[in-house]
Amino acid sequence: MTSTKTPPTKLVRAVERVRHHLSRINQRAVPPAAAMMELIMGAWIAQLISAAAELGIADELAGGPATGEELSRRLNVDQDALRRMLRALIGIGVFRHRSDGRYELTALAETLRTDSPVSMAGMARWVGSAQHREHWSHVADAIRTGSAVVPALRGKPIFDYLADEPALAGLFNQAMTGLSESSVSAVVAAYDFSRFATIADVGGGHGRLLAAILESAPQARGVLFDLPEVVAGAPVLLRRHGVEHRIRIDPGSFFESVPEGADAYVLKHIIHDWPDDDAVRILQNVRSAARRDARVLLIEFVIPDHDRNFHGKWVDIEMLVVANARERTAAEYGQLLDKAGFRLTRVVDTVGPISILEAVAV
């Protein structure tokens, strides 16, 4: 199945290789200490982007260009500090200063709008939140011990902590919906879901991926499964996509059981959240619930066999810091699936950094 909007996967991989080599040339164009300083300043860049999202600057400029005075008044922020913030961000392509002195959105800044089609506002705010920052400030400890810092710092695992922190959980869910939004077209373009009558999304969050899958498979029905406090936020999104009458919302924990009898079980960015033992338990529960001929589809950043930069290698460290979990190679996913009674049948590449690992019951 192909989509007119999605470029060929091989072309995207070739562009990635070119970008990798260009970034090496870019680094070698300055002394190593200067190149390193640029990398270190990535922390400031990310934090200022997060602050721009928190202050709602892109949302405010969505209505059209504005002067610094207008913006600072509407956002209730200090005008001089805002000017300095925008000056820094404009230098890296986020926002633009027009010749008439007003500020406006660039394509990059558009992604910080909360209502942009693929919004990164939630992701920016989650990564820049005081709590997430605190977790990452202990990354050296995580490397020393090989263990997550969240349980030691918060006294509980990350999802229990989020359950007790509704505002932070809101940012996390918004971040996940934004991430799903950025990858749904890649997933539905790469895999034909129309052959399944019932598709369960296990740990499906607010249902953004399931909505896109059902849009690509008009005869199929869906089951959205996640923790009760998470699926409580799903109906609005499902209604927005006009699929609410085709989806059953099923709250629960995948450590107890998952919905029975689906033809396909989608688990997107679920197994990467857990260490091997927990991951196998989740997959065993899927195995107990699935029909014999059902397909299990893990959608993950599969760690590739090359030394170039890859999104998933960074998310892997996030998984270590936050959840004692990890990103895995295809062979490592194959081993987990084996232990749970499945066989990995193929790995489908997408135009994004994620792949679809398809498995069947043994």
204 binds ligand SAM (CB under 6 A): yes
254, 301, 310, 342: residue in contact with ligand SAM (rule CB under 6 A): 254
Alpha-carbon distance of 90 to 93, in angstroms, equals 5
Nearer to ligand SAM, 159 or 310 (CB): 159
Alpha-carbon distance of 330 to 332, in angstroms, equals 5
* Residues in binding contact with ligand SAM, number by CB under 6 A: 17
Q: Looking at 6-14, 31-39, 78-86, 198-206, which segment touches ligand SAM (CB under 6 A)?
A: 198-206
CB of 230 to ligand SAM, least distance (A): 4
3-state helix, strand, coil in the chain (%, to 5): 55, 15, 35
Nearer to ligand SAM, 56 or 251 (CB): 251
CB 171 within 8 A of CB 196: no
CB of 60 to ligand SAM, least distance (A): 27
47, 194, 253, 284: residue in contact with ligand SAM (rule CB under 6 A): 253
The distance from CA 221 to its chain's CA centroid, rounded to whole angstroms, is 24
Alpha-carbon distance of 269 to 353, in angstroms, equals 12
Among residues 21, 272, 306, 311, which one is catalytic? 272
CB of 192 to ligand SAM, least distance (A): 20
Residues linked to residue 187 through DSSP beta bridges, in sequence order: none
Nearer to ligand SAM, 199 or 230 (CB): 230
314 binds ligand SAM (CB under 6 A): no
353 binds ligand SAM (CB under 6 A): no
Alpha-carbon distance of 334 to 351, in angstroms, equals 22
Q: In the structure encoding, which two tokens stand for residue 272, read together? A: 């990467």
50, 116, 129, 180: residue in contact with ligand SAM (rule CB under 6 A): 180
Alpha-carbon distance of 310 to 327, in angstroms, equals 11
Alpha-carbon distance of 247 to 66, in angstroms, equals 43
Alpha-carbon distance of 166 to 229, in angstroms, equals 9
135 binds ligand SAM (CB under 6 A): no
Determine which helix (DSSP H) or strand (DSSP E) holds 186, and give its type and residue range: helix 166-190
273 binds ligand SAM (CB under 6 A): yes
184, 189, 214, 270: residue in contact with ligand SAM (rule CB under 6 A): 270
**Amino acid letter for position 342:** F
Interface pattern 209-238 for ligand SAM (x via CB under 6 A): -----------------xx--x--------
Q: In the structure encoding, which two tokens stand for residue 332, read together? A: 């490592």
DSSP 7: P
Determine which helix (DSSP H) or strand (DSSP E) holds 97, and give its type and residue range: strand 96-97
Residues 152-171, interacting with ligand SAM (CB under 6 A) = 159
Cα–Cα nearest to 126, from 63, 174, 59: 174
CB of 270 to ligand SAM, least distance (A): 5
Nearer to ligand SAM, 96 or 132 (CB): 132
Catalytic residue check, 272 = yes
Please report the DSSP string for 98-110 in residue order. -TTS-EE--HHHH
Residues 34-53, interacting with ligand SAM (CB under 6 A) = none
Distances (CA, A) of 143 to 151, 189, 255: 15, 37, 28
Residue nearest ligand SAM, Cβ-based: 203
203, 222, 334, 353: residue in contact with ligand SAM (rule CB under 6 A): 203
Alpha-carbon distance of 213 to 356, in angstroms, equals 13
CB of 180 to ligand SAM, least distance (A): 4
- Give the residues lining the site for ligand SAM (CB under 6 A): 159, 176, 179-180, 203-205, 226-227, 230, 253-255, 268-270, 273
The catalytic residues are: 272
